[in-house]
Amino acid sequence: MNRTIQRVILATVTLGVAGAAFAQVKPEDEIRYRQSVMNVIGRNFGGVLGAMAKGERPYDQATAVKAATLVDMLSGLPANSFGPGTEKGAPTKADPKIWKDQAKFKAAYDKMVAEVAKLPAAAKDPAALKAQVAETGKACKACHDDFRLKEFRS
Ligand code: ASC
């Protein structure tokens, strides 16, 4: 067997194994994953940065930068867990519109990611943090208004 054929076989097997690994994630696990990450984002954005911006919690630079960096690292993850077949499988507030208007969902989601990316730098200064929390919050809210239901559905 020559090396080219060996490589083709190896690539095919690798892709097959990777594909099978992705396919094995059950919809309920994908739903749990995106909800878990959103929960951690919400606790750090609202509970830490939002509270500092509103003056409900004293500003502390190290705490703010840490929370902002964490939110920035996590912001893109749930986007990959709204794939085909994850519309249902566990109680979810994800609006079925997500799967019908993927371009609109992606645009709203990407706007959030772009605003979150500005948080770590803004978190170094209380006034800048307050301004960027406001902009980021608008992007969170816009996507939730359009694509998150008020109640869980099964
Ligand atoms: C949060 C959180 C949201 C958003 C939203 C922003 O911290 O849990 O859903 O911010 O309230 O308007």
| Ranges in the chain, pLDDT < 50 | none
Give the pLDDT confidence score for residue 58 in this predicted structure.
Answer: 97
* Residue owning the nearest CA to atom 6 of ligand 1: 137
Tell me what pLDDT residue 30 has.
Answer: 97
Taking only the tens place, the pLDDT of each residue in 91-110 is: 999 999 999 999 999 999 99
Please give the number of the atom of ligand 1 that sits closest to the Cα of 136: 6
Determine whether the shortest distance from the Cβ of 144 to ligand 1 is under 6 A: yes
DSSP letter assigned to residue 59: -
CA-closest candidate to residue 28, choices 114, 86, 82, 109: 86
Helix (H) or strand (E) run with residue 125 in it: none
- Residue 57 bridge partners (DSSP): none
Provide the pLDDT for residue 9.
62
pLDDT of residue 34: 97
Residue whose CA lies nearest to ligand 1 atom number 2: 42
Pocket test for ligand 1, best of 135, 140, 143, 145 (most atoms within 8 A of CB): 140
Task: Report the alpha-carbon distance of residue 29 to residue 63 in Å, rounded.
Answer: 31
Ligand 1 within 6 A of 141 CB? yes
pLDDT of residue 40: 98
* pLDDT score of 24: 73
**By C-alpha distance, which of 131, 130, 123 is closest to 72?**
123
Q: How far apart are CA 134 and CA 80, in angstroms?
A: 26
Q: What is the pTM of this model?
A: 0.85
